[in-house]
Amino acid sequence: MSYWSVALEDGIAVATYSNPPMNYMIGPAVLELIDLVQDWQRDDVRVVILTGGIAGKFITHYSVEELIDLARIPADEMKAINRGYQDFVLGFRRLAKPVIVALNGDTMGGGFEIALGADIRIAQAGDHRIGLPEVRLGILPGGTGTQALSRLVGLARAAEFILCGRVVAPERARELGLVHEVVPDALARAKEVARDLVSISPYALAEAKRALYQGFELPIVEGCKVESEAFCNTMVSASGLAQMRRYTALPFDARRDSIDSQ
């Protein structure tokens, strides 16, 4: 791979993106990541972490030079390419493994849309910018940004954020609900969270993720049907039954500590 390097240790795949000097996302790097997502279906991969390999940059944004080239092709072809990119970002939700992004620097435009496709977003403290500035370039977020952000923070807040082309510092991003945490070392914290997730039944995580994302797009009654199916699947699974039995075998005063999270 030219742009992504992957290290797998104890079930945690850490994928690091490097495209100096600015760490812009480009088409060949997207194709590499699509192949990686397919490869991560393997059973030995339990959690995925995406991070940046250039100091102060996660994925700065999508290459504007490449977007200008894209604008020169026929409209139908351009739309097909764009829809393919959207499907690529949504693919992180379909991946039956937790996906964590360690935002260790600037994360804007297409880079932030990739982050929005992940399950857990951990930002690194520092002079970094997070957001969707596309309208300031005369375009708009086209890689799921308008839809993902409005579902994450609500329509009114997303409208203000996108229409003003806002980019914010990590702590403000946390206050707005764009990221879950801001820490001194995003990758170290992501690995800590990943190690905890590895200790959880992969089937339970996969079904919980399916219930969350499939159900969220439906009216609540229909969403609850998805949840019920996923719940019953885990209830009769070998891992679910084994872990529930281990829990009930513990003394009452030991049960709370046995399910404490980090």
Q: How far is the C-alpha of 249 from the C-alpha of 253, rounded, in Å? A: 12
- Catalytic pick from 9, 113, 222, 229? 113
Between the CA atoms of 238, 42, 197 and 98, what dihedral angle is there, to the nearest 10 degrees? -110
pLDDT at 253: 87
> 3-class DSSP state for residue 86?
helix
Closest CA to 189 of 112, 97, 92, 103: 103
* Active site (annotated) includes residue 113: yes
CATH number given to 4-198: 3.90.226.10
pLDDT at 262: 56
pLDDT at 39: 97
The two structure tokens encoding residue 216? 């969220």
Contacts of 16 by beta carbon, 8 Å cutoff, 6+ apart? 4, 5, 6, 7, 51, 52, 53
Residue ranges of the domains in the chain? Answer: 4-198, 202-258
Place of tokens 């490449």: 66
- Catalytic pick from 9, 77, 134, 181? 134
Q: What is the full per-residue pLDDT of the chain (262 aa) written as tens digits?
A: 799 999 999 999 999 999 999 999 999 999 999 999 999 999 999 999 999 999 999 999 999 999 999 999 999 999 999 999 999 999 999 999 999 999 999 999 999 999 999 999 999 999 999 999 999 999 999 999 999 999 999 999 999 999 999 999 999 999 999 999 999 999 999 999 999 999 999 999 999 999 999 999 899 999 999 999 999 999 999 999 999 999 999 999 889 888 877 5
* Active site (annotated) includes residue 134: yes
